[in-house]
Amino acid sequence: MTSPQPDTAGPFGIYVHVPFCATRCGYCDFNTYTPAELGDSTPAGWLAAVQVELELAAPRVGSRPVDTVFVGGGTPTLLGGDGLAAVLDAVRAHFTLTPGAEVTTEANPESSSPALFARLREAGYTRVSLGMQSAATHVLKVLDRVHSAGRAPAAAREARAEGFEHVNLDLIYGTPGESDDDLKMSVETALDAGIDHLSAYALIVEDGTALARRVRRGELPMPDDDVLADRYELLDAALSAAGLHWYEVSNWSAPGGECRHNLGYWDGGHWWGAGPGAHGYLDATRWWNVKHPKAYAQALAERRLPVADSEELDDAARHIEDVMLRLRLRSGLPDAVLTAAERVRAEAAVTRGLLVRAGDQLVLTDRGRLLADAVIRDLLDD
Ligand SMILES: C[S@@+](CC[C@H](N)C(=O)[O-])C[C@H]1O[C@@H](n2cnc3c(N)ncnc32)[C@H](O)[C@@H]1O
Ligand code: SF4
């Protein structure tokens, strides 16, 4: 019997998770820790552990070159320019980056500066993704953001001035108290900063967050689905008019400004996820690391991979992921991927104006994008 060949087709990426934040935003349930929650874990200890994880990862990945690197968080910019340069050096010490590789870091507006962006460019970063969320002060307050309304667009301008061609701003829409005009102002402010990419997410009330408690107590009224649909249309119209077109339901870019790392996730690529709580996917195996920085550093101090658990994706699970992720892309999903029963349901969605055929691809229509989750659920429903 021959052993299965590694699936080396498609892009390969490395994600590095930085699990630190100065304060926690009330809506966020990402794996991140404030100084009070960290105990004796430090960024220096985290960096030493990540260096070992990348060293242990390299022989498992083999010779495939790295097309994209994405440092996310948490707040990577708390590491400072030298810390982020050291992360990229550690990747380069054990992997080969393809020429023209995309190297992104997330950046918080309040912990970035021209000097930081200059250092990041020098180190080899090619793309910056800043959390802006809103340009309205009262919205930022509900979200517990610590930066001023003007700081995120100012940081985006600074990144561009220091030589970053690719700059993203994240917006959140549908925050309690946000008006249509607030969102319009946020989009215009983001566009004025000269970015080539914008991500916009409807506010999700995650269980266990401070936001969820406030919503449950009736302090913060959440907008209904019709309001969210109107806001999405407003965003899409303003962004398209400015030459940023959707390429995934929540992501818009100028031509060539797409985030190649995220496209890898959505389009069946493989990646190594380093850092506490990071997920990886290689050759049909998906795994995830232990979440707390202390347990993470402990495992790596013993030169063990800090894997909490893993699963093998069988064909059925891969099919579901493929449909869920690729149907959200503007490039769409090839008809041939679908089962006979799914094709019948896809035809019904075409008739209802939710999907359209582009060659042999099925693509969400404008109305379909508003109902993307339901369209995907219906398609997969046996
Ligand atoms: C994990 S954060 C990291 C970015 C960076 N720490 C910052 O906040 O500026 C990435 C993005 O996820 C989005 N996000 C996080 N939690 C969310 C939620 N509950 N609902 C909608 N978007 C959320 C925000 O737009 C945020 O900028
Ligand atoms: S949104 Fe960003 S800054 Fe706020 S807690 Fe989450 S990761 Fe930290």
pLDDT per position as a tens digit, 41-85: 899 999 999 999 999 999 999 999 999 999 999 999 999 999 999
Closest Cα to atom 27 of ligand 1: 131
Ligand approaching nearest to the C-alpha of 105:
1
- Residue 2's pLDDT is 36
- Which token pair is 48? 């030493």
Q: Is the pTM of this model over 0.85?
A: yes
CATH 3.20.20.70 in the chain, residues? Answer: 13-267
Q: Which atom of ligand 2 is nearest to the CA of 23?
A: 5
- Which token pair is 145? 């953001």
Those residues whose C-beta lies under 8 Å from the C-beta of residue 263, and which sit 6 or more positions away, are 11, 247, 248, 269, 329
**Mutate which of 30, 70, 127, 145 for ligand 1 pocket (most atoms within 8 A of beta carbon):** 30
pLDDT per position as a tens digit, 319-360: 999 999 999 999 999 999 999 999 999 999 999 999 999 999
Those residues whose C-beta lies under 8 Å from the C-beta of residue 217, and which sit 6 or more positions away, are none
- Residue 123's pLDDT is 98
Q: Give me the residues of the chain with pLDDT under 50, please.
A: 1-5
What is the CATH class of 13-267?
A: alpha beta
* 84 alpha carbon – ligand 2 mean position (Å): 18
25 burial via Cβ count (<10 Å: 0-12, 13-18, 19+): buried
